[in-house]
Structure 1
Amino acid sequence: MTAASALTGLAAGEPPINFAAHQFRAGNMAGARDDFEQMLAMLIGAIHPGARLIAANPGDWGIDVLLGDLSGLVVIWQSKYFWPAVTRSRQAQIRESFDSAVAAAERHGYAVSRWVLCVPSSMDAPTAQWWDNWRARRQRETGVEIDLWHETNLRNLLITPDAAHVRRHYYDPYVPGEAPRAPVRSLASDSDAVLDACLFVRQLRAAGHTEVGAAKREFFNAELMVREITDKGVRAELAALAESDGLVHGVWEARFNEIGERHPANPRLPGLHAAVMGELRESGAFPSMLRAGPVHRCGLMHRVVEDRRAGWVRHWRTVADEHGAVA
Structure 2
Amino acid sequence: MPERIAMAAGLPPISFVAHQMRTGGMGGARDDFEEMIIELANATMPGVRTIAANPGDWGIDAFAGDLGGSITVWQSKYFHPVTAATHQRTIRESFQSVIKQAAEHGHTVKMWILCIPSSMDGPTTNWWDKWKKTQERDHNLVIDLWDATQLTVRLRTPEADHVRRAYYEPFTAAPPDIAEARTVLEVDEDKAASFDSALFVRQMREAGHLELDGAKRQFFNADLVAREIAHKGVPSEVNALVSTDATLHGVWETRFNECCADDNLRKLHSLVWADVRTEHPQLPKQLRLEVAHAWGLVHRLVDNRKAGWVKHWRTVAATHRETDPHSQQPPHEPPTDDEESPWTPTAR
Greater RCO, 1 or 2 (C-alpha within 8 Å, sep 6+): 1
TM-score by length of 1: 0.49
TM-score by length of 2: 0.46
Q: Which has the larger radius of gyration?
A: 2
